[in-house]
Amino acid sequence: MKETFKVKEVGIANRRSFLKISGLAMAGTALLLTGCNDDDDSGVNNNNNQMPGIRNGVFDFGGGDNGILTYAYALEQLEADFYTRVVNGNTFGSIFNTDEQAVLADLYNHEVIHREVLKQAINTAVNNNQQQVLPNLNFDYGALNFGNRNQVLDVARKLEDTGVAAYNGAGKYLANATNLVLAGKIVSVESRHASVIRSLINPDDAFFAANDVVEPSTGKNMAKEPSQVLSEIEDMGYIQTAFTANYLS
Amino acid sequence: MNIIKFIESFTDDNAFRQNASRRQSLGQLGAIGKKSLFAAMPTGLLTLLLVPQKSGAATALTTTADNNSPTDALRLALLLEYLDSEFYQRGLDTNGLIPEGRDRDSYTKIVNNEYGHINTLVQALGGTGSPNYFENPEFDYTAGGLFDPFNNYDQFLALSQSFEDTGVRAYKGQSPNLMSQPDLLQAALQIHATESRQAAEIRRLRGAKGWIQGNNRDGLPPQAQPVYNGEEMATQAGFSTGQVNNPGGPAIPSIAGTESFDEPLTREQVLSIAGMFIPDNPLE
């Protein structure tokens, strides 16, 4: 797969620099709304016209609606892969009680379906040009012990909370109302996930909407810019495939 | 009454709540709003966006005939937040209704979130002096004698679930009407996500799944069916969500496709659902 798409596997150090670079580029474009790039349309901010695809040997998410859909697709790939490993784990039936197993099995189902729907949406948007569809990413969870209930639930919490904040921050970059509603259909289910996972970790003290995810004076769930989300995803270290996101906002 | 409760949640001044007139309370609302804006500066931008810009022109509604302006979206949201917050506050104020522990902790958090949403929405609408603002209407939570939620906790939970699931679907349905105002859109999406967290928590308190299966109303009374109609959607972005195969993972049941997506409600659907509890609806 990766040869087909000429996605270059790189070591941790290189991967880190790729993401660092992309984060800087995004911060720059976010601040300078008329920021420049080297596209051949002259004199306008055409980040939104940048298609997903390989640049300098690395897949870039592209800009505009296709870029945001690709960004969401990458996040859903991560979640789907994570829960696939969770439900496939040898100890899945012993470290989780019946309720927890049912929740995690549902989350596995939902995230795989989200991944496949976003893949379809992107395919439609790029007329099935496979050069413009993010390839299957590779994942490695390092020291994470899938046989440890608390570790698994904590990663699930981070992924769900991050996903919700990511969709919340990305919605404003969508120009197509159909895409906005599609993202909205997904994010509310992600938020339901985040709530339930949190209540499995701690059913009391309203942990489902604790102050670290819902600002108490406004009742607003966190929203995060793509650059911040990708920086946090990088720190998690689970995505092994290099990519850039130079045109997301 | 609701506004007073709302203000109480933002002030420690007990004398205020006992002595203040309603008019004074509304003045205080504005001051509280300004204070909280410093805590969330992007929200502060919202006020600038919707307050009429011409001097002396702060008398015109910015709603539109087809009810699809940002102001229309915010007013619909405000109506729902009033409906929810008064319901939860009355529940919390009813001795013995909500069990101590997880249930009471959750409802306390939820009602405070709803007050925060009201604060955010009122600010976005230009404050209590704006013609876009309207007061908390009277609610009839018995829906004309059908329900008795403040004497029956199961009914209280059931109505809570229907309010939260309606809220999730309503904000989603209004999101396209906010696209011209990115800051407002983001604020609405953030509230939408909180409503979703709350919906899942209340569903779990009832022993239901945190997500909606098909158009299943999970034991709610038949009057709640419009809250769930349309949730059985099994095609998303042209893709059949009921037939997904994941090589390397367990088989995925067909029903999971409908669980994976929440569907939007139109303004008319929302007003029809909420209207059961609003004898004199200020938006109609």
- Measured in degrees and rounded to the nearest 5, phi and psi for residue A46 equal -115, 25
Please report the pLDDT score of residue B278 as a whole number. Answer: 98
Residue of A nearest to B237 (CA): A121
pLDDT at site B39? 42
Chain B residues in contact with A193 (beta carbon < 8 A)? 200, 210-211
The token pair at B124 is: 């976005």
Q: In the structure, what pLDDT confidence band is assigned to residue B62 with cuts at 50, 70 and 90? A: confident
Which chain A residues are Cβ-neighbours of B39 within 8 angstroms? 215, 217-218
| Residue B109: closest C-alpha in chain A | A206
With CA atoms as reference, the chain A residue closest to B184 would be A172
Q: In sequence order, what are the beta bridge partners of B10?
A: none
Q: Indicate the pLDDT class of residue B50, thresholds 50, 70 and 90.
A: low
3-class secondary structure per residue, B75-135: HHHHHHHHHHHHHHHHHHHCCCCCCCCHHHHHHHHHHHHHHHHHHHHHHHCCCCCCCCCCC
Smallest Cβ distance to A191: which of B196, B209, B236? Answer: B196
Q: Please list every residue in chain A whose beta carbon sits closer than 8 Å to the beta carbon of residue B186.
A: 168-169, 171-172, 223
What confidence tens digit (pLDDT) does each residue in B179-210 have? 999 999 999 999 999 999 999 999 999 999 99
Q: Give the minimum alpha-carbon distance from A55 to chain B in angstroms, rounded to a whole number.
A: 28
Of the partner residues B172, B179, B209, the one whose CB lies closest to the CB of residue A185: B172
Which tokens go with B206? Answer: 């009832």
The stretch B220-243 carries a mean pLDDT of 97
Please give the Cα distance from A215 to B234 (Å, whole number).
Answer: 34
CATH of A2-244 among 3.40.718.10, 3.40.50.2000, 1.20.1260.10, 3.30.40.10:
1.20.1260.10
Helical segments of B125-174, H only = 153-174
pLDDT at B47: 52
Tell me, what's the pLDDT at B60? Answer: 64
User: At B253, phi and psi to the nearest 5?
Assistant: -65, 150
Indicate the average pLDDT of chain B: 85
Answer whether B201 sits within 8 Å of A181, measured CB to CB.
no
Verify whether the Cβ–Cβ distance A168 to B244 is below 8 Å.
no
The answer to whether residue B48 scores a pLDDT higher than 60 is: no
**Phi and psi torsions of B277, nearest 5°:** -110, 5
Q: Which residue of A has its CA nearest to B249?
A: A84
Which residues of A are less than 8 Å from B238 in CB distance?
A: 120-121, 124
CB contact under 8 A, A116 and B244: yes
Q: Which residues contact A61 (CB under 8 A, 6 or more apart)?
A: A52, A67, A70, A71, A74, A134, A243, A244, A245, A247, A248
Q: Domains plus CATH for chain B?
A: 2-13+66-210+266-275 (1.20.1260.10)
Provide mean pLDDT across the span B104-122: 98
Contact A29, A244 (CB under 8 A): no
Interface pTM, i.e. ipTM: 0.86
Distance CA A129, CA A218 (A): 43
B chain contacts of residue A84, beta-carbon cutoff 8 Å: 246, 248-249
What pLDDT was estimated at residue B14?
Answer: 34
Question: Residue B7 pLDDT > 70, yes or no?
Answer: no
In a mutagenesis test of the B interface, which of A218, A222, A224, A225 is the best target, namely the one with the most B β-carbons within 10 Å?
A218
Q: Do A106 and B211 touch (CB under 8 A)?
A: yes
Place of tokens 């055409």: A46
Cβ distance of B194 and A103 shorter than 8 Å: no
Closest CA to B213 of B237, B193, B187, B232: B232
Whether the per-residue pLDDT at B5 is higher than 50: the answer is: no
Pick from A156, A162, A195, A6: which is nearest to A71 by CA? Answer: A162
Q: Please, what is the end-to-end C-alpha distance for chain B in angstroms?
A: 22
* pLDDT given at position A46: 77
Inter-chain touch B192–A187, beta carbons under 8 Å: yes
Give the closest-approach CA distance of A118 to chain B in angstroms: 8
Query: How far apart are alpha carbons B149 and B187 in whole angstroms?
Result: 31
pLDDT for A249 equals 79
Q: Is B147 helix (H, G, I), strand (E, B) or coil?
A: coil
Residue bearing the bigger pLDDT, A33 or B124: B124
Label each residue of chain A as H, E or C: CHHHHCCCECCHHHHHHHHHHHHHHHHHHHHCCCCCCCCCCCCCCCHHHCCCEEECCEEECCCHHHHHHHHHHHHHHHHHHHHHHHHHCCCHHHHCCHHHHHHHHHHHHHHHHHHHHHHHHHHHHCCCCHHHCCCCCCECCCCCCCCCHHHHHHHHHHHHHHHHHHHHHHHHHCCCHHHHHHHHHHHHHHHHHHHHHHHHHCCCCCHHHCCCCEECCCCEECCCCHHHHHHHHHHHCCECECEECCCCC
What distance, in Å, lies between the first and last C-alpha atoms of chain A? 28
Nearby residues of A148 by Cβ (< 8 Å), 6 or more positions away: A95
User: What is the model's pLDDT at position B59?
Assistant: 47
pLDDT band at B38 (very low <50, low <70, confident <90, very high): very low
**Closest of B103, B84, B99, B96 to residue B6, by C-alpha:** B84
Please judge whether B36 and A80 are an interchain contact, meaning their C-beta atoms are less than 8 angstroms apart. no
Per-residue confidence of chain A (249 residues) as pLDDT tens digits? 332 332 333 333 344 444 444 443 433 333 222 233 444 444 455 788 999 999 999 999 999 999 999 999 999 999 999 999 999 999 999 999 999 999 999 999 999 999 999 999 999 999 999 999 999 999 999 999 999 999 999 999 999 999 999 999 999 999 999 999 999 999 999 999 999 999 999 999 999 999 999 999 999 999 999 999 999 999 999 999 999 999 997
CA distance A7 to chain B (A): 22
Is A109 close to B40, i.e. CB distance below 8 A?
no
CB contact under 8 A, B119 and A217: yes
| pTM of model > 0.80 | yes
From the list B183, B201, B262, the residue facing A189 with the nearest CB is B262
Q: Which residue of B has its CA nearest to A209?
A: B197
**Strand, helix or coil at B23?**
helix
Residue B143 structure tokens = 């829906």
Option in B115, B172, B241 nearest A181 (CB)? B172
Q: Which of B175, B191, B196 sits opposite A220 (nearest CB)?
A: B191
Every domain of chain A and the residues it spans: 2-244
Task: Out of A22-26, B6-10, B280-284, give the one with best mean pLDDT.
Answer: B280-284
Residue-level pLDDT at B152? 98
Q: How far is A17 from chain B (nearest CA, A)?
A: 30
Residue A180 to residue A52: CA distance in whole angstroms: 18
Q: How confident is the model at residue B46 (pLDDT cuts 50, 70, 90)?
A: low
Q: Taking CB atoms and an 8 Å cut-off, how many pairs form between chains A and B? A: 219
- CB-closest option in A84, A114, A208 to B260: A114
* Nearest residue, CB atoms, A172 vs list B120, B186, B249: B186
Biggest CA pair distance of chain A:
61
**Quick one: pLDDT at residue B49?**
52
- How crowded is the C-beta side of A203, counted as CA atoms within 13 Å? 10
| pLDDT average, residue stretch B243-260 | 97
Judge whether residue B230 has pLDDT over 70: yes
